């Protein structure tokens, strides 16, 4: 049928591998983080909150993954544009308040196609994004 979106969503095996790599990387960075992996539609496939991670880290990680899944971009890419006076000012209030405009959410691309997204929270936003990118590289897809 013409006009339908086709493709694959991330499977639980890859989602769990990414979370395992996140945990390893976070530990090496001296951090306790939470991570969430979603499918292309932003639906949670797997999540993990490390011991000692801030209580709010997991819902923020889920929203970072959700944002990245829906827009197909790193959440950090929306930072500058969403500042007051810039073209997308107020963007952070969209999607029922779930839109995240700081680093830590990244799309998961396999064989050139987005299959999901990965959000991490609990450190600084730069640490969160660095950990997500390291986990993708460790899984052989980043």
Which pLDDT does position 78 carry in this prediction? 73
3-state secondary structure of 142: coil
Which pLDDT does position 88 carry in this prediction? 58
Which pLDDT does position 1 carry in this prediction? 39
Mean pLDDT by 10 residues, the chain (142 residues): 64 96 98 97 97 97 94 81 56 66 92 95 97 97 82
Which pLDDT does position 85 carry in this prediction? 59
Spelled out in words, what is the top-level CATH class assigned to the domain 12-138? alpha beta
Note if the pTM is more than 0.75: yes
Q: Where are the domains of the chain?
A: 12-138
Could you give the angle at the alpha carbon of 28 between the alpha carbons of 27 and 33, nearest 5°?
A: 35
Contacts of 33 (CB under 8 A, 6+ apart): 22, 23, 26, 50, 53, 57, 61, 120, 121, 122, 123, 128, 131
């Amino acid at each position: 049928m013409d006009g339908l979106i086709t493709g694959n969503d991330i499977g639980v095996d890859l989602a769990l591998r990414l979370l395992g790599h996140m945990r390893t990387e976070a530990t090496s960075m001296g951090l306790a983080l939470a991570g969430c992996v979603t499918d292309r539609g932003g639906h949670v496939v797997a999540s993990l909150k490390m011991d000692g991670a801030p209580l709010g880290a997991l819902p923020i990680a889920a929203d970072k993954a959700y944002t990245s899944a829906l827009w197909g971009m790193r959440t950090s890419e929306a930072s500058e544009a969403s500042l007051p006076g810039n073209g997308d000012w107020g963007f952070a209030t969209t999607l029922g308040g779930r839109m995240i405009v700081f680093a830590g959410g990244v799309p998961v691309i396999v064989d050139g196609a987005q299959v999901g997204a990965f959000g991490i929270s609990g450190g600084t936003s730069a640490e969160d994004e660095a950990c997500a990118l390291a986990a993708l590289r460790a899984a052989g897809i980043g």
